[in-house]
Amino acid sequence: MPAPSPTRSLDLDGTSVLIFDDSAAACLAAADQIAELVRSTVAQRGKAVLGLATGGTPVPVYKGLVEEHRAGRLSFGEVSTFNLDEYYPMSPLDPQSYRTYMHRHLFSQVDLAPNRAHVPDGTVPESALEAYGASYDRWIEAEGGLDLQLLGLGRNGHIGFNEPADLDTETALKLPTRPVSLHPTTVADAAGDFGGEALVPRRALTMGTASILSARRILVLAFGAKKAEAVAQSLTGPMTAQVPGSLLRSAGDRVTWVLDPEAASQLPGVGG
């Protein structure tokens, strides 16, 4: 079956924005694009390196990739993956860990080598966190950088767990992988997963903007009315560390936004 086409495409200052009928169609199209990128990159240079996201948004994308794999059209045999983030502290075996999420939705379902599936390690001792973050960036570089980074968007505009911050833009564009404190909106949004806000870890390890923004392609997915404001601010507001999604504009035409009509509703010329 051919992948769904967008019902509208916009070019906002060189950034491509694709709006689909609904999130299901958008996720099928995203899975198709990722599968195609893996096939063509492996054909060209013998391997592909993917940056991956967790959260509710990409779950159907992983389902689509697993289906492609089961149909014999997609192999992860030559793929390495680097996830964006992990709560801290967090055991990889904890049901709430992002490692468990990835195992459930992708890693256990495809032919990806376990030693090539990287998720930031939430068990690293406190004193080694900064050094560990720097190593994570070096591992990505040693693989030749990310061919594709898949991103969701926080309601507060965060990408990975790069939260809104009081930083000058130049610094905000070059942040390393590092330990961070979660923003109150992020903690509130995770409350459902952890059985209450009090149980949400207050810290995390996140891939930094430097590695994210260096990816050769970046696919940002955002669905639902609750993301509309962050989408509009990211795409049309000032480029600022207060809205980390706006920093994606520095990556120009390497970025594609994949939206449903609700998430796109506050973009100029889109809302009714």
Pick 14 or 56: Cβ nearer ligand F6R: 56
Residue of 84, 212, 231, 259 interacting with ligand F6R (CB under 6 A): 84
CB of 17 to ligand F6R, least distance (A): 18
Question: Is-contact 201 182, C-beta < 8 A?
Answer: yes
230 binding ligand F6R? (CB under 6 A): no
Binding-site size, ligand F6R (CB under 6 A) = 14
CB of 56 to ligand F6R, least distance (A): 4
Q: Is 201 in the site for ligand F6R (CB under 6 A)?
A: no
- Our finding on whether 122 is near ligand F6R (CB under 6 A) is no
* CA distance to 49, 52, 62, 242, 271, per residue, from 140 (Å): 8, 12, 21, 26, 39
In this chain, which stretch among 13-21, 29-37, 159-167, 245-253 interacts with ligand F6R, using CB under 6 A? 159-167
C-alpha span between 38 and 78 (Å, rounded)? 9
- Give the C-alpha separation, 78 to 228, whole Å: 37
Q: Which residue among 51, 133, 154, 208 contacts ligand F6R (CB under 6 A)?
A: 154
- Between 39 and 229, CB nearer to ligand F6R: 229
Q: Is 57 in the site for ligand F6R (CB under 6 A)?
A: yes
Residue whose C-beta lies closest to ligand F6R: 152
Could you tell me if 170 and 210 are in contact, meaning their C-beta atoms sit under 8 angstroms apart? no
DSSP letters, 11-62, are EETTEEEEE-SSHHHHHHHHHHHHHHHHHHHHHHHS-EEEEE--SSTTHHHH
Stretch that binds ligand F6R, among 88-96, 113-121, 158-166, 231-239 (CB under 6 A): 158-166
Instruction: Select the residue interacting with ligand F6R from 69, 105, 158, 249 (CB under 6 A).
Output: 158
- Please report how many Cα atoms fall inside a 13 Å half-sphere around the Cα of residue 150, on the Cβ side: 26
133 binds ligand F6R (CB under 6 A): no
| Cis peptide preceding 268, ω within 30 of 0 | no
Give the binding site for ligand F6R (CB under 6 A): 53-57, 84-85, 152-154, 158-161
